[in-house]
Amino acid sequence: DVKVTQSSRYLVKRTGEKVFLECVQDMDHENMFWYRQDPGLGLRLIYFSYDVKMKEKGDIPEGYSVSREKKERFSLILESASTNQTSMYLCASRESLAKNIQYFGAGTRLSVL
Amino acid sequence: RKEVEQDPGPFNVPEGATVAFNCTYSNSASQSFFWYRQDCRKEPKLLMSVYSSGNEDGRFTAQLNRASQYISLLIRDSKLSDSATYLCVVNFGTASKLTFGTGTRLQVTL
């Protein structure tokens, strides 16, 4: 079974803090994704990565950055957290472009106060 | 107009009922289609891919209508364990990014 692990289930941070969300997958997948999920808006893509050290902006990248130094790990960084970044964050991985099935981690519920 | 639209529900149905959800998409160049299931406070998981000719997996049947730009999910003989949110997912372009609908909530009751 594919396993996608997010480092925290719940996080509470203060406005202006730098926040790191970590995601690790154990299936040697090439592609990884970060989404946020909000009521009424569904899942929205923040950033994705096709391979190590590669990254592409998704639909809502503002206020976020990412890092992929190793194939198995994809980090989402909030440089200066704001209250409108309070959300559920979901990481996903995919074997390759050709095999377009994404496997999700359990999610991190981030509250920014 | 949203790229992928779903009726949010909730659909409340008794056990054993048949229920169907539709989902419309805006981009006629869409290439692939999926239904994901998301339980309360859990992550989305792939339920089934949707093929042009339609496909079935046990009690679940998925259909694609390219002319009218919608996909459907039919659940027969509903079980309590089918209660969840069903996400319609579409791949629009060459980057193979997936676009998710906001989901349709199903509640199966005794």
The model's pLDDT over A27-74, given as tens digits with 9 standing for 90+, comes to 999 999 999 999 989 899 999 999 999 999 999 999 999 999 999 999
* Å between B103 CA and nearest CA of chain A: 7
Q: Do A107 and B49 touch (CB under 8 A)?
A: no
Percentage above 90 pLDDT, chain A: 84
Q: How confident is residue B2, by pLDDT bands cut at 50, 70 and 90?
A: confident
B9 to chain A, any CB pair closer than 8 A? The answer is: no
Q: Do B49 and A101 touch (CB under 8 A)?
A: yes
- Does A15 have pLDDT greater than 70? yes
Q: Do B96 and A41 touch (CB under 8 A)?
A: no
* Å between A26 CA and nearest CA of chain B: 17
- Does A14 have pLDDT greater than 90? yes
Q: What are phi and psi of A17, to 5 degrees?
A: -70, 155
DSSP SS3 for A27: coil
Mutate to test the interface with B, among A49, A60, A91, A101 (most CBs of B within 10 A): A101
Mean pLDDT, chain A, rounded, equals 94
Question: In Å, how far are A66, A105, A110, B51, B70 from A3, measured between CA atoms?
Answer: 20, 7, 21, 26, 32
For B15-69, how does the pLDDT look when each residue is reduced to its tens digit (9 = 90+)?
999 999 999 999 888 888 999 999 999 999 999 999 889 999 999 999 999 999 9
Residue B95: the pLDDT is: 61
Q: Do A105 and B43 touch (CB under 8 A)?
A: yes
CA–CA separation, A17 and A12 (whole Å): 10
Q: In the numeric block, which tokens belong to residue B58? A: 């046990």
Q: How confident is residue A96, by pLDDT bands cut at 50, 70 and 90?
A: confident
For B47, other C-beta atoms within 10 Å of its C-beta total 20
A-B C-beta contacts closer than 8 Å: 38
Q: Do A45 and B97 touch (CB under 8 A)?
A: yes
Nearest CA in chain A to B85: A42
Q: Which of B96, B97, B102 sits opposite A41 (nearest CB)?
A: B102
Q: Do B42 and A106 touch (CB under 8 A)?
A: yes
Task: Using CB atoms within 10 Å of the CB of residue A53, give its burial: 0 to 12 exposed, 13 to 18 middle, 19+ buried.
Answer: exposed
Residue B94: the pLDDT is: 60
DSSP SS3 for A83: helix
Q: How many residues are recorded in chain B?
A: 110
